[in-house]
Amino acid sequence: MTSEEKLLKKYLTYLHVERGLSENTRQAYERDLRQLMIYLKQRDTDISLCEGNDLFLFLLKLKENGKAPRTIARCNATLRGFFAFLLDEGQRSDNPSTYLVTPTLNQSLPKVLSELTMDKLLQSGEETDLTLRNLAMLEVLYSSGLRVSELIGLHLADISLDVGYVRCIGKGSKERIVPLGEPAIRDLERYLNGPRGRLCGKQKSDILFLNSHGRSLTRQGVVYILKKWGNDHNLEQTISPHMFRHSFATHLLDHGADLRSVQEMLGHADIATTQIYTHLTRKRLLEVFQKAHPRADNRGKE
């Protein structure tokens, strides 16, 4: 194993053990750093000797190759974190990433389903074991705002139907408790009182949501289920697990929830991440005002 590989492995271990980053995030960081290592080799240098200009040209090459600003910004953050780690570990006497500039991002607003559309989606139709499982799953997503990774990681012990809450492990291995609404509790009870046992069969599993083979659902499996569910309910748009999370937050704010409470329920470390949903509610308020208020600018609409 080369010295670069050893440093990379040590850094990835640090991200896992000390920073508590998810496997997906660590894999993204590793991909970024491996691309950098290949690029530096082409320039006859390496991570222990490279300079700030090498890193700048690396990011510039990503841009020239058509990488999105968000991807370049993440790669920039990867470089900053990695070289700060090397400096702390005494592997370098300087940090060549200090003066790197992060590209300006055009923040896009999250896609949100209307309350009317959500009501339409949360109808099961034919009551089979799989449709009852899917309905319970969708109700939990909408009632709690869980990420799909948090949903598929739920165990039976993480659900309290008596008290009405779900416990999950989010980013950074942080645990949080989120309330469940009455419809979610009701549909979870229906799922647990029959369909789940039949899906599990003779296997032993404490995973809450199981696939048709009695095993834990995958991220891809949930995405497929939601896409098919949307088609079966005659939705023109394709729905995703994160749209339920966005809708959960936006609908809470629409009905008067405070931002700090929504932040806690979503598991956001920084309230600035949660504030994006306030843009959606402001936009909706403006639309209502322009349509309804007699002093709104409605010229040319008569």
Which residues does the annotation mark as catalytic?
Answer: 147, 171, 242, 245, 268, 277
Q: Are 236 and 139 in contact (CB under 8 A)?
A: no
**Please, where are the H alpha helices in 98-218?**
115-121, 129-144, 148-152, 182-192, 195-200
Q: How many H helices and E strands in the chain?
A: 14, 3
> Is residue 42 exposed (0-12), middle (13-18) or buried (19+ Cβ within 10 Å)?
exposed
**Pair of tokens at residue 259:** 């931002």
State the pairing for strand pair 175-179/159-160: unpaired
- Residues 262/274, Cβ–Cβ less than 8 Å: yes
Please say whether the beta carbons of 161 and 185 come within 8 A.
yes
d(CA 197, CA 191): 9
Greatest pairwise CA separation for the chain in angstroms? 74
Other C-beta atoms lying within 10 Å of the C-beta of residue 67? 16
